[in-house]
Amino acid sequence: MPELPEVETMRRGILAAVGSRVVDAAKIRCSRKPIDISPAPAKFRHRVRGATISALARAGKRVVIWLDTDDAIVIEPRMTGLVLVVDPPTQAHLRWRLSLTGGPIDEVLYWDRRGLGNVRLFSREEFCERFGLEKLGPDALEITADDFRTRLGSSRREIKPALLDQKAVAGIGNLYASEILHVAGIHPLRKCTAMTTRQWQALTAATHMVLEEAVRYEGSTLGDGTYRNALNEQGSYQNKHRVYNRADQACPRCSAKIKRIVQTQRSTYFCGKCQRRT
């Protein structure tokens, strides 16, 4: 967490910054665990100052701020990072500021409670080398059934942990993998090699449906309340979860009890009746 819907919400929340000019980029003094900001602040500032934001994109679970210099500022929120345009939840965990002029947004802030995220500056060549299709799979909002089958069809892994492989498909994390498999009617323990053509198609349709729906609701703010959109407001997709974190509650489709198992040290939630293993 955050996963694709949360990061896409962050990206959309700062879209108005396109066309603005960068005045400054500053690492904010913080007594908490330092985050990785590279290159060093002085060099970072020198490269971006005076540049214009030409586009706002996303690479899997990362927000990408493209500049007219062909450099890209890549913000990776990891577990507890937020991209904001208003005052953050706390000042103590504010890590980085991009000051702007010439548009409706004066600054883009990066806040991170646990300090696991990072802010990095790449040239276009470096960006393509780091985030090209050899390193990062097709985006989950755009992936096709053929893509899924090509990238995962020969894997002997179970389908649930396989969906978390960012080299296979970019953007899906633990929460949405459980939701997607429930909608697709696929058991999380099913081996990729045992998936049928119909199941790959169902998986693709469910991936697009769940993630697009989650984006419309601006992502999921879980029990710890950490995730917020760019205006420091909660998402609401947590109210639409079908199985995630709902062990022993009724399946919304068939009313059977939702089950919880552990796969690769992560919780998986599913309905044994709607998602049969055979």
Mean pLDDT of 256-275: 97
- 278 has pLDDT over 80: no
Q: Domain of 241: which CATH number?
A: 1.10.8.50
Same domain membership, residue 256 and residue 167: yes
Final residue of a structural domain among 131, 163, 190: 131
Is 198 a domain residue?
yes
Contact 3, 61 (CB under 8 A): yes
Mean pLDDT of 155-184: 98
Q: Would you state the pLDDT for residue 133?
A: 86
Q: Would you state the pLDDT for residue 33?
A: 86
Q: Is 119 helix (H, G, I), strand (E, B) or coil?
A: strand
Q: Domain of 111: which CATH number?
A: 3.20.190.10
Residue 58 CA to residue 158 CA, distance in Å, equals 27
Is 139 a domain residue?
no
Alpha-carbon Rg for the chain in angstroms: 20
Kindly state the percentage of the chain with pLDDT values over 70: 100
- 61 has pLDDT over 90: yes
Final residue of a structural domain among 104, 131, 158: 131
Place of tokens 């970019």: 170
Is 137 a domain residue?
no
Nearest to 80 by CA among 226, 230, 224: 226
Contact 103, 15 (CB under 8 A): no
Nearest to 34 by CA among 80, 94, 109: 94
Contact 204, 144 (CB under 8 A): yes
Q: pTM, whole model, 2 decimals?
A: 0.96
The catalytic site residues sit at: 2-3, 61, 266
Dump pLDDT digits (tens) for 95-154: 999 999 999 999 999 999 999 999 999 999 999 999 998 899 999 999 999 999 999 999
Residue 50 CA to residue 31 CA, distance in Å, equals 30
Final residue of a structural domain among 76, 102, 131: 131
Residue 222's domain comprises 145-271
Same domain membership, residue 11 and residue 123: yes
- DSSP β-ladder status, 266-271 and 62-67: unpaired
Is 276 a domain residue?
no
Same domain membership, residue 149 and residue 74: no
Which tokens in the block code for residue 161? Answer: 């942990």
Same domain membership, residue 8 and residue 98: yes
- If one counts every other C-beta atom within 10 angstroms of the C-beta of residue 3, the result is 24
Same domain membership, residue 126 and residue 26: yes
- 163 has pLDDT over 80: yes
Q: What is the mean pLDDT of the chain?
A: 97
Mean pLDDT of 36-61: 97
- 225 has pLDDT over 90: no
Indicate the residue type of 57.
A
Dump pLDDT digits (tens) for 79-103: 999 999 999 999 999 999 999 999 9
Residue 276 CA to residue 177 CA, distance in Å, equals 16
Provide the domain count of the chain.
Answer: 2
Q: Would you state the pLDDT for residue 128?
A: 96
Q: Would you state the pLDDT for residue 218?
A: 98
